[in-house]
Amino acid sequence: MRRFEGKVALVTAAAQGIGRAVVRRIVAEGGAVVVTDLRQDAVAALAGELGADQAIGIKVDVTSRADIDAAVTAAVGRFGRLDLVVNNAGGCIVTSMPEETSAEDWHRQLDFTLISAARCIQAAIPHLVRTRGNVVTISSVNGISAFGNVEYAAAKAGQIAMSQNYAARYGPLGVRFNVVAPGTVRTPNWDSQPGALEQLTSMYPLGRVGEPEDIAAAVAFLGSDDAAWITGHTLPVEGGVLTGPSPIDLRPPDTLHRRSIRPSADPRTRNRVIP
């Protein structure tokens, strides 16, 4: 597929993990990409690998509006247009108990994860109106359901609400806003926690954690014309974790009902449900 032929995307936090996979997917489908990250050497290396006709690498701190403005200007200056912004930057940077989190840490978490995405949208929106482009923001299942990390979850939920409101506001101008909400994804962020991904696997009905390419595929769909009539939507890409707890009995369904009610010799408890 060449769904991004002639299109230009800007991806934040693109040096590794999900962002890197998104960049590769867009380029593979014919698009050009502005690769941004705090790590200048990493974005330069990735852009160099992809080729000057397909990518440029720019160091960007998403907490700096000046950095974001410069990246958007570079995108339009180099490629002549901007069609897609992928807000991938953000993460859980507050680890205190929520009852003890300071106002400063709340602001720091929101600035890094929620307000950074707003900055990118503000900088890009004039160009997206011209191209009738779109924004895909990487949120999390934490923004949909209670998986802990209260401050991070609030920031991720804010991304969803913000995207819905932008979708309503800019829909009449042809600009779309959608969200991808990943579950646990195998990225370098987990490298310092040996065995954690294996433990988390048991939460997922599909029997594995996600890979960056799983998220990139969803971004490519929502960011392309295949999703031309989809806006204000949140697409969970999460291996089924939002369906509820994984079943503890995996025998065929037709045998489960025979187990759920066990006859008892005692008439007072004859129909007691046995878990």
Widest CA span in the chain: 82
- Nearest CA-CA partner of 177 in 231, 240, 115: 231
* pLDDT confidence of residue 250: 47
Element (H, E) at 117: helix 116-131
| Whole-number pLDDT of residue 14 | 98
- Which pLDDT belongs to residue 147? 92
Active-site choice (152, 166, 170, 204): 152
- Picking from 6, 37, 16, the residue whose alpha carbon sits closest to that of residue 224 is 6
Q: What's the CATH number where 183 sits?
A: 3.40.50.720
Q: Rank 134-138, 144-148, 245-249 by mean pLDDT and report only the highest.
A: 134-138
Between residues 273 and 197, the one the model is more confident about: 197
pLDDT at 155: 98
Inside any domain, residue 254: no
Residue 260 in domain: no
Mean pLDDT over the full length of the chain: 90
Position 266 in a domain = no
Strand partners, 261: 273
Give the list of residues 6+ apart from residue 142 with CB closer than 8 angstroms, or none.
148, 149, 152, 153, 156, 157
Is pLDDT at 71 greater than 80 in this prediction?
yes
Q: Is residue 271 part of a domain?
A: no
Please indicate, yes or no, if residue 29 is contained in any of the structural domains. Answer: yes
Residue 221's domain comprises 8-246
What is the reported pLDDT for 231? Answer: 98
Number of H helices, E strands in the chain: 9, 7
Stated pTM of the model: 0.88
- Report yes or no on 267 lying in a domain: no
Q: How do residues 24-41 score in pLDDT, each as one tens digit?
A: 999 999 999 999 999 999
Query: Looking at the predicted structure, is the pLDDT value of residue 245 above 90?
Result: no
Is 204 one of the catalytic residues?
Answer: no
pLDDT at 255 exceeding the cut of 70:
no
- Which residues partner with 41 through β-bridges? none
Q: The tokens of 261 are what?
A: 């009610």
* Within-domain flag for 270: no
Bridge partner list, 85: 10, 135
Which range, of 18-27, 93-102, 107-116, 164-173, averages the lowest pLDDT? 93-102
Cβ distance 256 to 274 under 8 Å?
no
Find the mean pLDDT for residues 188-215: 93
Structural domains of the chain, count:
1
In a domain, 261, yes or no: no
CA distance 17 to 138: 12
* Cα gap 24→267, rounded to integer Å: 66
Residue 13 has pLDDT above 90, yes or no: yes
Per-residue pLDDT for 273 more than 60? no
